[in-house]
């Protein structure tokens, strides 16, 4: 007694149909990712210019923009009245930049401020350091608890200051 190949195929197809129809089918909605990387770059220099001159320049080792927020690593920035602003990380959201880690702010007149966090408002040309900082100019050293620096007016206001100042005799 030999079984024909057609019979084996009919039995196999019948088993597949029975198993398919008897299994419970579930409908799941597709997962939509909210992560939307808009921009990514490495070792880039950005310059803002007008018709006659360069207004400012920044360099970043790497950066990524997600949902409108730009995060830069190892950033250094210089503008017309701001000699240097650098940090390990900067997060740009709108016109505010929050700088983290080894933040250095250097004025054209020689003052240099160091801290671990600063907030820079590009439109108002204003830097706010919400925590302790150290400022140096030549041999003069100043420590403070917070700092507000108006870049346009080149005016700094700080609280809880302790300083060592050297004056001419």
Q: Which domains, ranges and CATH numbers included, belong to the chain?
A: 37-127 (2.60.450.10)
pLDDT digits (tens, 9 = 90+) for 5-23: 888 888 888 988 888 888 7
pTM of the model: 0.70
Distance of alpha carbon 138 from alpha carbon 142, whole angstroms: 11
DSSP state of 58: E
Give the mean model confidence (pLDDT) for residues 133-137.
91
């Amino acid at each position: 007694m030999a079984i024909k190949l057609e019979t084996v195929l009919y039995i196999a197809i019948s088993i597949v149909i029975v198993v398919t129809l008897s299994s419970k089918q579930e409908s799941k909605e597709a997962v939509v990712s909210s992560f939307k990387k808009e921009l990514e770059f490495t070792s880039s220099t950005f310059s803002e210019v007008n018709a006659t001159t360069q207004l400012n320049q920044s360099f970043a080792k790497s950066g990524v923009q997600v949902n409108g927020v730009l995060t830069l690593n190892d950033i250094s920035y210089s503008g017309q009245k701001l000699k240097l602003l650098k940090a390990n990380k900067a997060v740009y959201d709108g016109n505010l930049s929050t700088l983290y880690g080894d933040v250095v702010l250097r004025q054209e007149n020689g003052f240099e401020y160091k801290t671990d966090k600063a907030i820079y408002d590009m439109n108002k040309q204003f830097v706010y350091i919400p925590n302790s900082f150290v400022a140096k100019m030549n041999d003069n050293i100043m420590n403070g608890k917070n700092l507000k620096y108006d870049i346009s007016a080149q005016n700094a206001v700080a609280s809880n200051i302790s300083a060592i100042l050297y004056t001419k005799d």
